[in-house]
A and B are shown apart, each in its own frame.
Chain A
C-alpha cells in the first residue's frame, strides 16, 4: 500500500495518540502547546507565518555543553534572533538527574547568555514524542507555511569536543541561509547526534 486511503488515515488518526511520531520534512509540523519558564503557554500556532527553529536541550548533556561552552548556540540564537523564532525545548523527565526546574533553567540560561525567543518546558515529553526528537541537540526548522524544512543534527562534527565547533559545517545555518535566499534546503534531513532524550 503506497498511499493510505482517506478512510485508513481517518481510522489511523484514532490510534495515533501515544505513538512515537515524527516531524517529516515537507510535511506540516506537529502543533503543540506547552509552557515557558514563567509558566505561560507557548504554542507553535503563536508563530504562524514565521520561520521557527526548535532546539532540543539538556544542560546535563555533553553534546549540548559543547555548543553552549563554545558560545555557538548563543551566537546562533542572537544572530537569527530578529529573523526567526528560536524555541529551545527541554523534554527531560522530572525524575531524571539531568532535570532542572524552570527556576534553575532560567538561572543557567542567563549565566550562559542564551537568547532563545522562548524556552519550552516539555516535562511530560509530549512535544518531543510528537516530533520524534531523539537526542539533544536535535534541531528542526519550520518554514513560514508551517512545514518542516529541516530535521537533523546541528552540524557535521559528531563529537563533544568544543574545538570541533569552529571547523564544523552547521546544517541549521545552511538551511536558514538557503531559505532566506528562497532556495530549497539542500540537506534537509540527516541523522541527529547527541545524548538520548530522557523521556519518562
Chain B
C-alpha cells in the first residue's frame, strides 16, 4: 500500500511544475518553478521568464523616462501568499535624449510563493496574469495568462531539472542588500551626492552606476560623476527640476563593472541612502586600483604642468607668443628688473585667466550645463568677438592705427605702467587662444579634475597655466638667450608687420569655425562686419593727429556697425559646409551617436571614434597629418573598422557625457573600440599616421564579409 502511494506521488510530482510558454507578438512568457513542490508554510521561489525578441526590451521597477514596470497578478489556492517581484539589476537603455531602465534578451523575475502551514500535500494549480510593456522604438502593451502545475509536498522538495541554471543566473543579478557599508545622500540644489564607504579594511569598486528606485527624481540620462573619497566614492547625479521637496531617502541599486568587492560573482548591491543635512569633507583617495579612471592628484598636477609647457608648442598660442617675445627684445638689452617684472606680470595674466575660465566652467557645470574645456568656442558669438579682436590686432601690427589713450600699443615705447598692462593683456590673450588646443598629457589632467572638488580643479588649472607661462617666465629671468637677438631697430617694424600675418591666418581659421557652427551666411556677415570694423580702425589711424571729436565718433560708429553686422543671429544653423567637411578625406566618416556606437559594438564591429571640433586646432592638425592618410584609410578598411566622428563644434551634451565616461573633458580624444573589449583604447592627443596604423594592426583581421555572402549564395 505504501509503495503504491509512493509511486502515485512520484507520478503526480513528475506531472507537476509543468507550464506551457505563451507566445505574444514580441515576447515568449512562461512561469518556471525552481523546485518540484512547496513545503507547507515555507516559501518556494517561482519565476516569470520573459524572452524578448531581438532589440525589444521590458522594464525595471523604475522604468526611467518612459515605459512601465512588468506586473504580475496571482490567482493562488486558498491561504497562499505571494511576495513582491525580486528585480535583477537593470541595464540603461538610451533612446535619443531619454534613458530607460530595463532588460533585453531574457529576464527571469523571481517571486516567493508561500502555501499555508496546513496546506495538504498534493497538486495545486497556480495562475498568474502578467502585464508588461515591450518596446523597441515603439511600444506594445502585452499580457498573458499563465499557469503552472505545482504541488505541495512535505520535506525538502527536489529541484526541477533544467531550471536550476535560469534561477541561479537570475539570483546572481539580484542586488545584494548590503550592510556594514556607510551610505548617505545629500541633496544640494539640483545635485544629488551619494557617499558610499566600505566597511573597515574594504575597498569600493572603481566604476559604479546608480539606478534609483524613486521615479522622476534623478535625471536619468544625465551622466553620473564618480569621485574617490578615502576608501570609498562619491557619486554625483543631476536631479529632475523642480527638485522634489522632503525626500528622506535615495535608495537604489549600485552596479559595479565587475564583481562588487567582497561579493564574488555579484555585481550589484542595494544600499539604503538616508538623506543627510550635510556630508563630511571629502577625504584623500586611498587604495584606488592602479590604472583606473581618475588617477591621483599628484599625477594630475604633473600632467597639467607638462601639458601647460607643451601648450606653447601648439599652433594656437604661436601668434600671441611671437608678439610677446618681440616685446622682450625691446628690453633684453636694458634693465633686467623691468624684464623679469614683465615676465612675472605676463605669467600672472595667464594664471588669472586660467582660473577665471576654469571658475566659470565649474560654476556653469554646477548650474547643470554640460560643458567642457574650450566651451567658449562653442558659442558663435564668442568666435565672432575673437575674430574681430584678432583682426583689429593685426591691423594694429600693420600700423593702420595705434591704440593710444585707453590702452597702449603692444610694441610702442611707453610708460612702465602701460607695459605691465600690456604684458597682462598678452597673458590673457595667450590663454584665450590656447583653450582650443589640447596638448599631450593635458586631456587626462583636465578630465580628472572636473570630477574633483572645486579647490582641486582650480589647483590643476592653475598648474596648467603655470606650465604654459613657465618658458616666458624663464626667458625673462635668464635673458642671456635674448641677448643674441639683434638690438632694437628698424627691423622691429618689419617683424611687427610680419607678425600680423599669423593673426590674419587665425582670423581665417575662426571664420571657418564660425562657418561650421552657423553656416555660410554667418561667415559672410562676419567678413562684412570685419570690413566695416577695418574702416573704423582706418578712420581712427588716418586722422590720429586730429583733435576733432569726429574722429572718435566715426571710429566708434564704424566699430559698432561692424560688430552689429558680424553678430551671429539666433537662428543661425549649421550649414552644408559642415556636412561637406565630414565628407572630405578618404575615410568614410559616419556621424557618431551613442545608439550607433552601441549598435556597432553589439554587432562586434571594431569602431574608431574621433571626438573633434572645428575650433580644436590640435584635432585639425591630426586630421591633416595623421588621419586623412591613405595608409590609415587602408588599415581601417582592412580591419573592418567603422569610423565615427563626434563633432563637438557646437554644444552637445551627449558628447560631453560620452567624454566624461572616458574620463575626459577636452579635445581631441581618439577612442578605438576592439570587439569584445569593455573599454576602448585611447590614442594620444598628438597622432602620427604610423601610430594609428600600429594600433589598428593590433585588432583581429576583419572577417571577409563580402566573400561569405557570396559563398552562401
A14-B381, A193-B68, A196-B139 in contact; A24/B241 too (CB < 8 A)? yes
**CA A134 to CA B98, docked complex, whole Å:** 7
Are A15 and B363 interface neighbours, CB within 8 A?
Answer: no
Please tell me if A12 contacts chain B, counting CB pairs below 8 Å: yes
Residue tally, chain A, CB below 8 Å to B: 46
Q: Is the CB of B651 within 8 A of A15?
A: yes
Which of B66, B97, B131, B369 is close to A15, meaning CB atoms less than 8 Å apart?
Answer: B369
A3-11, A35-43, A100-108, A174-182 - the one binding chain B = A3-11
A4 to B363 alpha-carbon distance, docked (Å): 7
Contact (Cβ within 8 A) B651 A190: no
Greatest chain A CB density within 10 A among B221, B242, B382, B653 is at B242
Instruction: Tell me the interface secondary structure of chain B in the complex.
Output: loop
Query: Contacts A4-B367, A134-B66; is A15 near B135 (CB within 8 Å)?
Result: no
Is A199 an interface position by the 8 A CB rule? yes
Check B154 for interface membership: any CB of A closer than 8 A.
no
Contact of B141 with A by CB under 8 A: yes
Instruction: Let me know if B68 and A15 touch, CB within 8 A.
Output: no
Nearest B residue (CB) for A138: B66
CA distance A196 to B68 in the complex (A): 11
**B95 close to A (CB within 8 Å):** yes
A97 touches B378 (CB 8 A): no
Tell whether A19 is near chain B: CB-to-CB under 8 Å: yes
Which B residues from 367 to 414 make CB contacts under 8 A with A? 367, 369-371, 375-376, 378-379, 381-382
Which one, A4, A12, A24, contacts B242 given CB within 8 A? A24
Instruction: State whether A8 touches B651 (Cβ < 8 A).
Output: no
Q: Does B598 contact A (CB under 8 A)?
A: no
Say whether B135 contacts A19, CB under 8 Å: no
Residue B133, interface by CB 8 Å:
yes
Within 8 A of A (CB), among B423-445: none
Whether A34 sits at the interface, judged by CB under 8 Å, is no
Q: Which residue from chain B places its CB closest to the CB of A200 in the assembled complex?
A: B96
The reply to whether B363 and A1 contact each other, CB–CB distance below 8 Å, is yes
Q: Mark B225-242, 1 if CB is under 8 A from A, else 0.
A: 000000000000000111
Residues of B within 8 A of A11 (CB): 360, 364, 376
Complex CA gap A71/B531 in Å reads 63
* Distance of A160 from chain B, by nearest CB (Å): 4
B366 on the A face (CB < 8 A): yes
Determine whether the beta carbon of A8 is less than 8 Å from that of B360.
yes
B98 partner residues in chain A, CB cutoff 8 A: 134, 196-197
Cα distance A162–B140 in the bound complex, in angstroms: 14
Instruction: Report the minimal beta-carbon distance from A147 to chain B, rounded to whole angstroms.
Output: 12
CA distance A8 to B614 in the complex (A): 25
Does A61 have its Cβ within 8 Å of any Cβ on chain B?
yes
- Complexed CA–CA distance, A136 and B401 (Å): 61
Cα A76 to Cα B300 in complex, Å, equals: 59
Closest chain B residue, CB of each to CB of A136: B66
- Residue of A97, A158, A161, A190 touching B138 (CB-CB under 8 A): A97
The reply to whether the CB of B652 lies closer than 8 angstroms to some CB of chain A is yes
Cβ–Cβ contact A199 & B96, under 8 A: yes
- A199–B65 Cα gap in the complex (Å)? 14
Bound complex: CA A129 to CA B652 (Å): 13
Q: Does B215 contact A (CB under 8 A)?
A: yes
Say yes or no: B650 contacts A17, CB within 8 Å: yes
Which residues from 1 to 55 on chain A have a C-beta closer than 8 Å to any C-beta of chain B?
A: 1-2, 4-5, 8-9, 11-12, 14-20, 22, 24-26
Interface centre among B138, B215, B652 (most CB of A within 10 A): B138
| B189 within 8 A of partner (CB) | yes
Within 8 A of B (CB), among A167-200: 189-200
Cα A26 to Cα B381 with chains together (Å): 30
- The answer to whether the Cβ of A135 comes within 8 Å of any Cβ in the partner chain is yes
Q: State which residues 128-149 of A face B: CB under 8 Å.
A: 129, 134-135
B68 and A62 contact, CB distance less than 8 A:
no
B141 with A193: CB separation less than 8 A = no
Task: Find out whether the CB atom of B367 lies under 8 angstroms from the CB atom of A12.
Answer: yes
Query: B139 contacts A18, CB within 8 Å?
Result: no
CB <8 Å contact, B653 and A19: yes
Residue from B364, B382, B651 within 8 A of A18 (CB atoms): B651
A159 part of interface (Cβ distance < 8 Å):
yes
Q: Is the CB of A191 within 8 A of B216?
A: yes
Do B369 and A19 have beta carbons less than 8 Å apart?
A: yes
Q: Give the most central of B68, B371, B375: most A CB within 10 Å.
A: B68
Contact call A8/B135, Cβ cutoff below 8 A: no
CB contacts (< 8 Å) of B188 on chain A: these are 2
B104 touches A (CB below 8 Å): no
**Are B360 and A159 in contact, CB atoms less than 8 angstroms apart?**
no
Contacts of B378 in A (CB 8 A): 15
Q: How far is the CA of A18 from the CA of B241 in the complex (A)?
A: 18
B215 / chain A contacts, CB cutoff of 8 Å: 191
**Which B residues touch A129, using CB under 8 A?**
97
The residue of chain B having its C-beta at the shortest distance from the C-beta of A97 within the complex is B138
A196 touches B96 (CB 8 A): yes
> How distant is the Cα of A199 from the Cα of B97 in the complex, in angstroms?
8
- B292 contacts partner chain A, Cβ-Cβ < 8 Å: no
B residues 258-276 in Cβ contact with A at 8 Å: none
Report the nearest A residue to B141, measured CB to CB. Answer: A160
Asked whether A159 and B216 contact (CB < 8 A) given A62-B140, A196-B96, A196-B100, the answer is no
The answer, among B137, B221, B367, B382, for a CB contact under 8 Å with A96, is B137
| Complex contacts, A9 vs chain B, CB 8 Å | 367
Report the bound CA distance from A196 to B59 in whole Å. Answer: 13
Contact B141 A62 (CB under 8 A): yes
Set of chain A residues within 8 Å of B242, measured between Cβ atoms: 24-26, 189
Ordered nearest first, which 7 A-B pairs have the shortest CB separation?
A191-B216, A160-B141, A1-B366, A196-B66, A20-B97, A14-B379, A199-B96
Known contacts A158-B68, A199-B96, then 10 further A-B pairs from the complex at CB < 8 Å, ordered by chain A residue = A15-B651, A16-B651, A19-B651, A129-B97, A134-B98, A189-B216, A195-B139, A196-B96, A196-B135, A200-B96
